[in-house]
Structure 1
């Protein structure tokens, strides 16, 4: 029995730190990854795809968002897709699953498992799926507990599917909800327990795995990486599963931490570092870094040109926290000429900047803008 395990598609997710163009591109890839998963299943000879919850980001998606994943799965009529609710799309009375059933449009090869209990998904191989079903976003009970005594025929391959937090695995507030026993696969005699909720791949034990989201969606994806889908091969009811990780994500998210810039060499090095993440596909890179340091007038102009304009245009998203400070003195004001209104304004700003404090910070930024504007205007005139 070979099948695909995935979770946390989060169709309809929004990203508040990107522009509209990038927003649309990120959302589109969350839909298109469904097609890549279908191709993976075909290539691997897997007849079933098990999706461990959070297919949708919200319980009330727009009509277009509601049907987008359904239509992608419809394209793979030879593959059976098995879906369970997650904490983002719980099976509430007026939620997304009730709406799909009421309005129709669920392809024949897509199976919505909205009730707990063993379901035979492959008669020839005697394979039974045991879904855990969230009826609301947060519960305190372990919804996989019923699997311990759920009846299946002798010799059956028992596969559990659940969405939640393995006890003692996480330490944040979210990890206290929807608890799952760490030894559920052993206690319930499961050949495999496929989990959703954690967005990075993580193998809890020999028979229990979080698949992670197939398309990375944040800079803090956690241990194990992300953007992957699992192919699981079970040779028999008691045999240990063979688990393979396959890359399905399009975008690469990199959090580079703190970068201090003090010279042109530092600026060129930062540019090369970001472009080196994917030399042949910079448009698929999202980077977040914190910038600090002191730059002279010419180096600040280089930073604005090379980093905040050209590099930002090269990658999908360049998220900059902080900014280098301008290191300017009286000699630098000579670029404005010996006299005139601009020179006098620059002298006033420099004096205020050197005084420090809140007004000094504003003056420093204003002086920086003045230098950059002056340099740009000279370039345009030339």
Structure 2
């Protein structure tokens, strides 16, 4: 049989760094990824989709947010979607999962809120052994009951769980949501589908994290996010064949640049545009900038990077800024004497001393004065 393994949709996620224009686009794309997963399953001949927790980002989504992923799954009646609660959307009394059951799930969507195994699809040759979370942090291994979970003789057993395979510094007695590395072996699982880690990750031949289908942070730009897994299982003892498939739309990247010349500015622009030359609106970048530029080069930076790329990319978040490094040519542009030259010299002094706010204000004022002086020169020569 073939199935799709996905997790960590986190529908309703709030991207706190995004403005009112970018935020709804990122949220909507997480919903659109469900359709891409369904189409991938159909194209690859999969009959089931396993969602290994964190379908939602928080416990009390609005009614529309609660229904939206269910309606996306309803559009694929030929696929059976298996859901479990994760640490973001754990099963609490009268919580979102009870709300979902109360409104009625489509026949092709199954919410596994207890650890009882169930058929993966209509054929019944494979059974899912679920281990959803009933609280955000569970002391112990949420998959411990899988070892004794009953399934029909000869059926392929597929575990579905949400948690970590590392303690991240906690001792074993207080470790939370930690899954034993050997669980696939001790529970006689043909495959163990895990959620929690947001990048696709192989633990062993039978144990994988699928990662989130749409990248949701700059740190995952190159670490396997934006994907889902196609899993082929030929029998209860056969080793699964796992293929990684891209499902994400947006591309996230971190970059840093030390700018000291116009060449550095142009190189930075070219590098960021090169992330996706065909559609830069798919790109989100967090950029750390330092260095020092002359007034002329600072204008180039503002025009080509801050304004140009800031308009072309979906998001450009800049941390830091180049300092002002004035040259004799910069000051000569204000004339050799007079009030404008004196004002420029005063601003240069302020831009090179004082606190950060004073330097930033002085640099911005100097840039403004430089542009005005240039415009006056251009007009006088016309």
TM, length-normalised to structure 2: 0.93
Give, in angstroms, the shift of residue 223 of structure 1.
Answer: 7.4
Instruction: Using the TM superposition, name which of 241-250 and 221-230 deviates more.
Output: 221-230
Matched residue, 1:127: 126
Instruction: Using the TM superposition, name which of 343-352 and 135-144 deviates more.
Output: 343-352
- 1:86 equivalent in alignment to 2:92: no
Cα deviation 1:238-262 (Å, max 9, x = unaligned): 0000101000000011112x31111
Number of positions where the alignment pairs a residue of Structure 1 with one of Structure 2: 375
- 1:239 equivalent in alignment to 2:241: no
Give, in angstroms, the shift of residue 337 of structure 1.
Answer: 3.8
Identify the match of residue 366 of structure 2 among 363, 366, 371.
Answer: 371
Instruction: Report if the CA contact (8 A) 1:47-1:78 is conserved.
Output: yes
- 1:336 equivalent in alignment to 2:331: no
Matched residue, 2:343: 345
Matched residue, 1:12: 12
Give, in angstroms, the shift of residue 221 of structure 1.
Answer: 2.1
- Matches for 1:132-143 after TM superposition, within 5 Å: 132-143=131-142
- Matches for 1:15-34 after TM superposition, within 5 Å: 15-34=15-34
Alpha carbons of structure 1 residues 248 and 71: separation in structure 2 relative to 1, 3 Å? same
Give, in angstroms, the shift of residue 16 of structure 1.
Answer: 1.5
For residues 111 and 375 of structure 1, the distance between their equivalents in structure 2, rounded to whole angstroms, comes to 65
Identify the match of residue 323 of structure 2 among 322, 325, 334.
Answer: 325
Which consecutive unaligned segments of at least 5 residues does structure 2 have? Answer: none
Give, in angstroms, the shift of residue 379 of structure 1.
Answer: 5.1
Instruction: Using the TM superposition, name which of 51-60 and 9-18 deviates more.
Output: 9-18
The root-mean-square deviation of aligned C-alpha atoms, in Å, is: 2.1
Instruction: Report if the CA contact (8 A) 1:85-1:91 is conserved.
Output: yes
For residues 36 and 284 of structure 1, the distance between their equivalents in structure 2, rounded to whole angstroms, comes to 16
For residues 176 and 376 of structure 1, the distance between their equivalents in structure 2, rounded to whole angstroms, comes to 60
Instruction: Report if the CA contact (8 A) 2:37-2:247 is conserved.
Output: yes
Instruction: Report if the CA contact (8 A) 1:216-1:226 is conserved.
Output: yes
Instruction: Using the TM superposition, name which of 149-158 and 344-353 deviates more.
Output: 344-353
Helix, strand or coil at the partner of 1:158: strand
- Matches for 1:1-382 after TM superposition, within 5 Å: 1-102=1-102, 104-122=103-121, 124-167=123-166, 170=168, 176-221=175-220, 224-256=223-255, 258-328=256-326, 332-338=330-336, 341-354=339-352, 356-358=353-355, 361-377=356-372, 378=374
Which consecutive unaligned segments of at least 5 residues does structure 1 have? Answer: none
